Amino acid sequence: MAAKKQSDDRPSTLGALRASAYAANAGRSVKSEIRSNLQARLRSGERVFDGIVGYDDSVVPAIVNALLAKQNFILLGLRGQAKTRILRSIGELLDPEIPVLADAALHDDPFAPTSHEGRTLVAEQGDDAKIAWLPRESRYVEKLATPDVTVADLIGDIDPIKASRLGTQIADERAVHYGLLPRANRGIFAVNELPDLAGKVQVALFNVLQEGDVQIRGFPIRLPLDVLLVFSANPEDYTARGKIVTPLKDRIGSEVRTHYAHTVEDAMRITAQEAWTTRDVNVHVPDYVREAVEQVAFAARDDARVDGHSGVSQRLPISLLEAVVSNAEQRALVTSQDEAVARIRDLYAGLPAVTGKLELAYEGELRGAETIARDLVRNAIGRTFDAHGKDVEGDAIVDWFESEDRVFRLPDDEDAGGWWARMEEIPHLQEAATALAGGKDATLRAVAGEFILEGLHAKRRLGRSEERGYRALDAEARGAATSPTRWN
């Protein structure tokens, strides 16, 4: 978004700007501006970054320290750790708008222009030079690094046609077609996946920022830019696709390590914040279903069959929760209902949201992504049952199945009323489901009953098959259930 000329009471000429209160900010750098606004937030007790969960005691303080020190910084972390979101949030620390020379090529400070055009405007027009006001959203420039990005893309290139039209030498500053970085002057320039940039491009970055100059096609050009430079990188990329050149690493002020949420509660807050769950059909998702969704990611990060070096993105539970809600929505649409309750078995319907987000180790590749994903869902349900099913009389329920080798089925196409009626024949199941659901309506009680049965299955106390439903474990499976497993 380009700066727009204003017709209100804000200064519209350089002379009016000199006479205004803004003149007190003359010569203030973008890093000083961010520092000042950050100080104000800290004094007022306002959150530094809205929507960033789980980093209050780790990542956020480190970033605050870097910004207070006026340092460029890099965020290092695995996939799905909110690196890009944090970088974009830095833009909220900029002033709502700043004055720029209206007809200059770059976002020139009216009091100290950077570009040749800006210096010429001030020299020729003086206090009559026109001023425009640049909003903060136009001062954040982001580039996803790829191996084909060139110095011309980021810094600029010589434009011989422009030089010919102006009648200048090729080496003249006016013959340069500016790249993204100069156009981010007086703002924030973010580079995602920094190791993917070619080494020579990285060299151009540290030259223009540290020394204030760069050679374009062999011609030295001064570019004293006023920019906060921020980066993100995945440490695994250092060997997989590229690396950060040592001189650039040396010039980056702070290296901040990100991480996944340490607690299930924080992870659930992130997923609830990011997942799209508001549908035309009202879908209620019980707390234990939400927790089970989150536990899938925690289980994957603990599983040796999943490549831990690549990480398990927070996007996994976000996508899985959306799939769970969609399966419940589909059920409501098919049965012409206005609302639905998500069931624990909806997690299995969401397996396509899991398989594509897992980088498998050798053992996992042998078994296949879908098999691993099913194991992870079952593990997650077991973990959740440990937390929510403490008071369930599981022995009595299991004894009922084992006493006469009984089979119990909950048809997917049956409504909650039918499920609840079926559950009456299993001792203590309805009482436990009512307690878990908080004594609410029949649908929530029936879904809670299914969670109890699925939890006992996940803990290898009951068997289950798609055709026959829940049943007692056979002797071999019962022996396996009592043997310790790595992930259970």
Q: What one-character DSSP code corresponds to residue 25?
A: G
Supply the pTM of this predicted model.
0.87
| The two three-digit tokens of residue 285, written as one number | 């998702």
Q: What does the pLDDT look like over 43-88, one tens digit per residue? A: 999 999 999 999 999 999 999 999 999 999 999 999 999 999 999 9
Q: What is the model's pLDDT at position 349?
A: 95
Same domain? 373 vs 337: yes
78, 311 Cβ separation under 8 angstroms: yes
Q: Which of 257, 280, 306 is the last residue of a domain?
A: 257
Same domain? 19 vs 155: yes
Instruction: Tally the domains of the chain.
Output: 2
Question: What's the CATH number where 182 sits?
Answer: 3.40.50.300
Q: What is the model's pLDDT at position 486?
A: 39
455, 470 Cβ separation under 8 angstroms: no
The structure tokens 């992130």 sit at: 270
Q: Which of 257, 275, 306 is the last residue of a domain?
A: 257
- Is pLDDT above 70 for 276? yes
Same domain? 213 vs 303: no
Confidence of residue 107 (pLDDT cuts 50, 70, 90): very high
- Is pLDDT above 80 for 4? no
206, 191 Cβ separation under 8 angstroms: no
Q: What does the pLDDT look like over 179-230, one tens digit per residue? A: 899 889 999 999 999 999 998 888 888 877 777 666 666 666 777 889 999 9
Q: What does the pLDDT look like over 6-44, one tens digit per residue? A: 546 789 999 999 999 888 888 899 999 999 999 999 999
Q: What is the model's pLDDT at position 215?
A: 64
Same domain? 101 vs 74: yes
Q: What does the pLDDT look like over 386-397, one tens digit per residue? A: 999 888 989 999
345, 465 Cβ separation under 8 angstroms: no
What is the Cα–Cα distance from 377 to 141, expressed in whole angstroms? 40
Q: What does the pLDDT look like over 357-384, one tens digit per residue? A: 999 998 999 999 999 999 999 999 999 9
Q: What does the pLDDT look like over 412-469, one tens digit per residue? A: 888 888 999 999 999 999 999 999 998 778 899 999 999 999 999 999 999 998 777 9
Nearest to 180 by CA among 192, 168, 172, 171: 192
Same domain? 378 vs 457: yes
Same domain? 195 vs 59: yes
Q: Which of 257, 284, 303 is the last residue of a domain?
A: 257
Whether 122 is covered by a domain: the verdict is yes
Whether 105 is covered by a domain: the verdict is yes
Whether 488 is covered by a domain: the verdict is no
Q: What is the mean pLDDT of residues 265-271?
A: 96
Q: What are the phi and psi torsion angles at 130 (to 5°)?
A: -80, 145
Same domain? 433 vs 301: yes
Q: What is the model's pLDDT at position 217?
A: 67
- Is pLDDT above 60 for 263? yes
Q: What is the model's pLDDT at position 235?
A: 84
Longest dimension (CA), the chain: 99
Same domain? 245 vs 171: yes
Residues in CB range of 207: below 8 A, 6 or more apart: 213, 214, 215
Query: 3-class SS at 325?
Result: helix
H helices present in 45-150, as ranges:
59-68, 83-90, 116-125
Confidence of residue 126 (pLDDT cuts 50, 70, 90): very high
Whether 8 is covered by a domain: the verdict is no
Whether 1 is covered by a domain: the verdict is no
- Is pLDDT above 60 for 475? no
Q: What does the pLDDT look like over 301-360, one tens digit per residue? A: 999 999 988 889 999 999 999 999 999 999 999 989 999 999 999 999 999 999 999 999
Query: 3-class SS at 140?
Result: strand
Same domain? 351 vs 298: yes
Same domain? 49 vs 94: yes
Residue ranges making up the domain that contains 105: 14-257
